[in-house]
Structure 1
Amino acid sequence: MSRPVRDILAECMRRERVGLVRPLWHDFVATNDEACEQVRLRADHLTRLLASYGLTIVQTEDARAPETPPDTIYRCALEDGTAERVIRRAGDGWEVVKVAGGVETVEQSFMLDRAAINAGLVLTDAPEAKSISGLGRQLAALVEIFRVHAQGMAK
């Protein structure tokens, strides 16, 4: 059975970064899938960067169509350890989601152009910036979207 391309790429990226270390990838996945997901998200980032140059990674022993990275570009545990925050593509825009106890709560939905305008309001000290609920989280999400080159992700 073949493995997903993103998982293979993540394993290779981990190995390139830290060498052949224990736990080996298959053991790492079995014992700490959350940490593996962080490496997979980096692999998704690399896949998007390669795609921006017209490159695609495919498995040669498998005739499946090339995989596209999932809609989630960021996932991290919150400071208190009881929940996690997710940034993901949602239709034409983006969502910041809190996941606690397996329940997802969309904290914010926004479009990139609106977030960029909001960033301009902050930079110019416009008074209306103070009235935008969740602006700091929105701008932090915007930074992550651009950091991992996800702004051009297919809708």
Structure 2
Amino acid sequence: MTALPRDIRDVLGECIRREALGLIRPLWHDYTSFNDEACEAYRRRGDMLLRLLRGYGLSIVRVGEEPGSTPATADVVYSHPLHDGSATRSIRYAGKRWEIVSTTKESSETVEQSFSLHQANINAGLVLLEAPEARTIQGLGRQLAALVEIYRVHAQGIGEQP
């Protein structure tokens, strides 16, 4: 009996960790069993690499797979604990909209904001023009910070992926 092949983003995450740190203990398969959150950060870096390659017309495929099949990337493009440690803030793609989500240690999830890239870019323009209506937009700073992160990890086209 053979094991199912690992997900490409998991393999990329392991390779990125190994490139940065070398072959260290705990090995990836042990590391994932007790610290999957840290592994997910490496997988998100793998997602970024996949999106960058896709932008250049390249794709990573497993030997023996149909050329042109594109590995899926995660919908969460950013996740980090808040400064006070009370929760984790994430940015994720949720079907034509981006969400800023706060998750408490008890796994209670709150969508703080939901926005389209189009609207966030318009809001950024309002700030640049010092338009008075920019001052009335709730959570604008957080929205623009999320927009910067979305572009930084090249996730702006995530909804257009096959």
Question: Contact 2:97/2:114 (CA < 8 Å) preserved in 1?
Answer: yes
Give the aligned length: 155
Q: TM-score, normalised by structure 2?
A: 0.88
Q: 1:16 aligns with which of 2, 15, 19?
A: 19
Q: Displacement, 1:124? A: 2.1
Does residue 117 in structure 1 map to residue 131 in structure 2? no
- Number of the residue aligned with 1:133: 138
Aligned counterpart in structure 1 of residue 147 of structure 2, from 139, 142, 147: 142
Moved over 3 A (4+): none
Among 89, 92, 95, the alignment partner of 1:91 is 95
Instruction: Provide the identity percentage.
Output: 57
Contact kept, 8 Å, 2:76 with 2:92, in 1: the verdict is yes
> Which is further off, 131-140 or 19-28?
19-28
Give, in whole Å, the separation in 1 of the partners of 2:136 and 2:126: 11
Unmatched 5+ stretches in structure 1: none
Relative to structure 1, the CA distance from residue 52 to residue 8 in structure 2 (aligned partners, 3 Å threshold; closer, same or farther) is same
Q: What TM-score, normalized to structure 1?
A: 0.92
Amino acid at match of 1:35: A
Offset at residue 67 of structure 1 (A): 2.3
**Aligned residue identity for 2:153:** V
Counterparts of 1:62 and 1:91, CA distance in 2: 28
**Amino acid in the other structure paired with 2:57:** G
Give the distance between the partners of 1:41 and 1:78, measured in 2 at CA: 18
1:56 pairs with 2:34:
no
After TM superposition, give the deviation of residue 136 of structure 1 in Å: 0.7
Distance of 1:72 and 1:93 partners within structure 2: 12
Instruction: Give yes or no for the alignment of 1:78 onto 2:82.
Output: yes
